[in-house]
Amino acid sequence: MVELMSCSNNYYGRRNVVGLALMNAFRGVVVGGYMALYGLYLAYLGFDMGVIGLASTIASLVGATISPSVGYFIEKWGSKLGIVLSGLALTLASLILVISKTLPLLVTSYTLFMISFLMGQVARSVFLVHSIGIEGLGANVGVTSAVFSIARCIGPATAGFIAYSIGFKLAFLFLTASSIIGLIVFQLTTTQPPKETRGEKYGSLIDAYRQVFKPNPLLRFAYIVTVLDRFGWSLWFPMLSAHMYNYGYNEAIVGLLSTVQSVAQATTLPLLGKLTDKLGSTNILMTSEILAAIATLLLINPTPWLRALIAYVLVGLSIAAWIPSFSKLVALATNGNKLSEAYASVNTIRIIPSIPAPLMGGVLYDVIGPIAPYGSSAIILTILAIILAKKSKVSKPLSKHNHINP
């Protein structure tokens, strides 16, 4: 009987991984297209970098406020529902851009995109852990994320071409339809993970907020990593497409460059997931930060086109290294216990530097020029790479019984 239940759990676990990968195919199209076009669309409408940065700042502020509650509700209601709700938020974010050009709704769209990211990241991570376990988590995250990244190859190029040829509204309508299809596919192909228990890990919603400020030592290190990383990236990443627009790249070319980034990310994610399991998360995270720092320096002046191409490839490689390594770092910090709480707490801390950084980056860009936000980011990411290198040297792998190789 025990063996039968184990076989059943393995079947549903594999099925959930496949279902999540299928949804990621559609989600990748939407996220890739949205990220490629949002800043570009605001620049097209005449908004400057300061306003674009402000939109990201407001979205981050809302995200930081609600992030701890995300973990609470996922523990209470289940990770599958969390994934569905994140998909609905992504659908609304795209739909708003079809029907409105007013700044309040444009900011609302990006806020929903942020909420989708926060809820989805926590829910998907918990969904995978409870479906297949921590052992080999890096490889499974790598595979499902690779599908997402492959789809991102389609989203930016296709949406960018539609926006350039026909108009932004039809491009965002295409993204909205893709999001809806992805939700339907996920709902039909997955089940609630058999190993997941709901409603038993939090005393109250207030406790969920309190836990953000009571991390264990390993999770505290994850806090340091995510704060420095997010601040460095947020100084320029939300405005990247608008920055390229300022240097003469049109919608179609920006979409193609984003596709190049996605190809680099997709083709290396499975390998980097396996390397995370083999070499440890801190080593791969260090690699991610080094690649990001180099890319940031190249993007200060993204001309000629070859420099921009190399920079986008390095951005893709950096993200590919970050995804499995940071997911595993957080999972290992809790040894699989209270994962929703851990991921939500990390996301809350991660968002805090994203509140001032985009606005700061936008203002620095408008007042001084691109060298200010991009140069500052490169310095911060380099410092983080040094911290990770030192951590890697002093960390001793723990026993396989604990499934930990930090």
Reported as a single tens digit per residue, the pLDDT across 348-400 is: 888 888 888 988 998 999 999 999 999 999 999 999 999 999 887 655 443 33
Cα separation, 390 vs 386, whole angstroms: 6
Cβ neighbours around 184 below 10 Å, total: 12
Cα separation, 15 vs 9, whole angstroms: 10
How many Å from the N-terminal Cα to the C-terminal Cα in the chain? Answer: 36
DSSP single-letter state for residue 335 = T
> 233 with 377: CB under 8 angstroms?
yes
Residue 7 has pLDDT above 50, yes or no: no
Reported as a single tens digit per residue, the pLDDT across 283-331 is: 999 999 999 999 999 999 999 999 999 999 999 999 999 988 888 888 7
Cα separation, 27 vs 139, whole angstroms: 20
Residues 6+ apart with CB under 8 A from 20: 83, 124, 127, 128, 144, 186, 190
191: left (phi > 0), else alpha (psi -120 to 50), else beta? Answer: beta
> 110 with 59: CB under 8 angstroms?
yes
Residue 5 has pLDDT above 50, yes or no: no
Select, from the ranges 113-122, 226-235, 252-261, the one with the highest average predicted confidence (pLDDT). Answer: 226-235
- Please name which of 191, 354, 226, 376 lies closest in space to residue 299, comparing C-alpha atoms: 376
> 45 with 160: CB under 8 angstroms?
no
Among 89-93, 252-256, 370-374, whose mean pLDDT is lowest?
A: 252-256
Reported as a single tens digit per residue, the pLDDT across 9-34 is: 566 677 888 888 899 999 999 998 99
> 122 with 69: CB under 8 angstroms?
no
According to the model, what pLDDT value does residue 228 have? Answer: 95
**What single string gives the DSSP state of each residue in 268-312?**
HHHHHHHHHHHH-HHHHHHHHHHHHHHHHHHTTS--SHHHHHHHH
Report domain 2-192+206-402's class: mainly alpha
Cα separation, 155 vs 145, whole angstroms: 15
**What single string gives the DSSP state of each residue in 211-253?**
HTT---HHHHHHHHHHHHHHHHHHTTGGGHHHHHHHTT--HHH
Reported as a single tens digit per residue, the pLDDT across 318-338 is: 999 998 888 888 877 776 556
> 155 with 175: CB under 8 angstroms?
yes
- Please name which of 402, 385, 209, 147 lies closest in space to residue 282, comparing C-alpha atoms: 385
